[in-house]
Amino acid sequence: MIVCVCKSVSDRTIRSSIADGVDSFDELQFELGVASCCGKCEESVRDVMLQSGVCASRCGVGIEHHPQAVPLTFYERKAA
């Protein structure tokens, strides 16, 4: 499924990058270009990160190592 329409990035590509060691939203944004155009995919990218066991906040720490559980609805939104 395409997550980022602007850059044609699928959830499979995001998961592959995470499996290759990308562990923060900023890195995904740099490596794949997600959420770097219209930005509407940011929440979906963070959902894929969370489903892949990576903290969806900007800390880049694996969710299993996070000192506090991050609620599924927690997102740090970038200012428009």
C-beta of 39 vs 60, nearer to ligand FES: 39
Tell me the number of residues near ligand FES by CB under 6 A.
12
Half-sphere exposure (Cβ direction) of 59: Cα atoms closer than 13 Å: 15
Judge contact between 35 and 52, C-beta under 8 A: no
Q: Measured from the CB atom, is 11 or 61 closer to ligand FES?
A: 11
Tokens at 2, concatenated: 């395409």
At 70, is the secondary structure helix, strand, or coil?
coil
- Scanning 36-44, 47-55, 57-65, 70-78 for contacts with ligand FES by CB under 6 A, the matching segment is 36-44
Note the residues at the interface with ligand FES (CB under 6 A): 4-7, 34-41
